[in-house]
Amino acid sequence: MFWQRAWYRRGVDFRLWLLLPLHWLFCGLSAVRRLLYSIGLLAAYRAPVPVIVVGNISVGGTGKTPVTEALIQWLIRQGLQPAIISRGYGGKGPFPQLVTAASSAAAVGDEPKLLATRTQVPLVVGANRQQAIELLLKQHPEVSVIVSDDGLQHYALARDIEVVVVDGQRGFGNGWRLPLGPLREPLSRLQHVDFIVQNGESPSAALAGLKVRTWRFDLLPGSWRRVNQAQGSQAESVTLEPGNYVAVAGIGNPQRFFDTVAATLAAEATIRVVETKAFADHHPFTAADFQQFNACTGVLMTEKDAAKCQPFAPDNWYYLPVSAQFETEFWQQFAKQLQTKQTLHEAARSTYGS
């Protein structure tokens, strides 16, 4: 938590300068690794169907999971049969593993569990993306396009379309790369991706300086649901009881969730959020984490956190689902790009007879 607070302050916290040698080491190793893939000394696996990578160049929450879900829903509406691969961060495995709505978040990770529940499409988790795709296509040969949830820096996987998600609220922090700042790659990387999508707010000065096209999306909150009931499309909306609540969040940018809760409940005079509690991103929640809040009427949380808390949640815990909404022009441009990549894959299959 200290690192993220320091990264997103103006300038560089003087204590971070102690990490300058590690910063240069990280930058050097990253540059060499990408060079080796670009010149072919390290081979990248190319899947037999188009691969769309949804990722970011910064550490922490940017809205990547809702964007992945929005892409999947759009692909389904186009008559395609999409699937998802994910690293399964925070999951204990074994990997690779096919994820279903019945999978445990502890085994497969909170974000894959959420995506499997919300999208109902095939999803495989595993750090080795090639193994994940091979298992996916073996179990679901009908899949026609794959969306990789995260993996922008996973150059061992060849990709057809890159979508980079930017947090319009926090931007790129102090602009430095790890561990001095939140960036995994330099800002110049954004000049070589297909789409940059920004979570609300106005384009940052850093993006304006790069002279790249940015597409805005907004995270729209849904209605409250009980944590201990079914998630996804089968979940029923509920009305919060009057009283005092605590809002908790174990995500990359917890303040965004707290702001959303405040805006959602602004007109509810009898419902008050008396405390907010931020946990580390991907925090492995247990019932003990909530004992300090027993005096409150209930607990409010994100849908991602609810995926981990469902097994032990009482009736007075609620989550707020959100969805990403894009402008029509974005989908028109995305459709053109995808059609081009599909044509190239079809031509390759025709040429090599596979």
29-44 confidence digits (pLDDT tens)? 999 999 999 999 999 9
Would you place residue 57 in the very low, low, confident or very high pLDDT band (cuts 50, 70, 90)?
very high
Q: What is the predicted pLDDT for the residue at 100?
A: 86
pLDDT in tens, 128-162: 999 999 999 999 999 999 999 999 999 999 999 99
- The alpha carbon of residue 162 and the mean position of all alpha carbons in its chain are separated, in whole angstroms, by 14
Peptide bond into 221 cis (omega under 30): no
163 backbone dihedrals φ, ψ, rounded to 5°? -115, 115
Between 235 and 259, the more confident residue is 259
Would you place residue 349 in the very low, low, confident or very high pLDDT band (cuts 50, 70, 90)?
confident
Does the annotation flag 64 for ligand binding?
yes
How far is 257 from 300, CA to CA, in rounded Å?
10
- Confirm whether 43-219+326-341 and 223-320 share one CATH topology: yes
Q: What is the predicted pLDDT for the residue at 353?
A: 60
Would you place residue 173 in the very low, low, confident or very high pLDDT band (cuts 50, 70, 90)?
confident
**C-alpha triplet 206, 189, 253: angle, nearest 5°:** 60
Does the annotation flag 58 for ligand binding?
yes
Does the annotation flag 270 for ligand binding?
no
Task: Name residue 247's beta-bridge partners.
Answer: 276, 300
Q: What is the predicted pLDDT for the residue at 294?
A: 85
Would you place residue 163 in the very low, low, confident or very high pLDDT band (cuts 50, 70, 90)?
very high
Does the annotation flag 264 for ligand binding?
no
How far is 22 from 181, CA to CA, in rounded Å?
12
Q: 8 near 174, Cβ under 8 Å?
A: yes
pLDDT in tens, 64-89: 999 999 999 999 999 999 999 999 98
CATH of domain 223-320: 3.40.50
H, E, C per residue of the chain: CHHHHHHCCCCCCHHHHHHHHHHHHHHHHHHHHHHHHHCCCCCCECCCCCEEEEECCECCCCCHHHHHHHHHHHHHHCCCCEEEEECCCCCCCCCCEEECCCCCHHHHCHHHHHHHHHHCCCEEECCCHHHHHHHHHHHCCCCCEEEEECCCCCCCECCCEEEEEEECCCCCCCCCECCCCCECCCHHHHHHCCEEEEECCCCCHHHHHHCCCEEEEEEEECCCEECCCCCHHHCCECCCCCEEEEEEECCCCHHHHHHHHHHHCCCCCCEEEEEEEECCCCCCCCHHHHHHHCCCCEEEEEHHHHHHHHHHCCCCEEEECEEEEECHHHHHHHHHHHHHHHHHHHHHHHHHCC
Give the architecture (CATH level 2) of 43-219+326-341.
3-Layer(aba) Sandwich (3.40)
Q: What is the predicted pLDDT for the residue at 5?
A: 76
Q: What is the predicted pLDDT for the residue at 352?
A: 66
Does the annotation flag 65 for ligand binding?
yes
Q: What is the predicted pLDDT for the residue at 47?
A: 96
Q: Find, among 281, 235, 213, 209, the residue nearest to 58 by Cα.
A: 281
The CA–CA distances, whole Å, from 106 to 12, 243, 311 equal: 36, 32, 11
pLDDT in tens, 192-230: 999 999 988 766 667 777 888 999 999 999 999 999 986
Mean pLDDT of the chain: 91
How far is 323 from 217, CA to CA, in rounded Å?
10
Q: What is the predicted pLDDT for the residue at 259?
A: 94
For the whole model, what pTM was predicted? 0.93
Does the annotation flag 99 for ligand binding?
no
Please check the confidence at residue 307 and state whether its pLDDT lies above 80: yes
The structural domains of the chain, with segments of one domain joined by +, span 43-219+326-341, 223-320
Does the annotation flag 60 for ligand binding?
yes
Does the annotation flag 59 for ligand binding?
yes
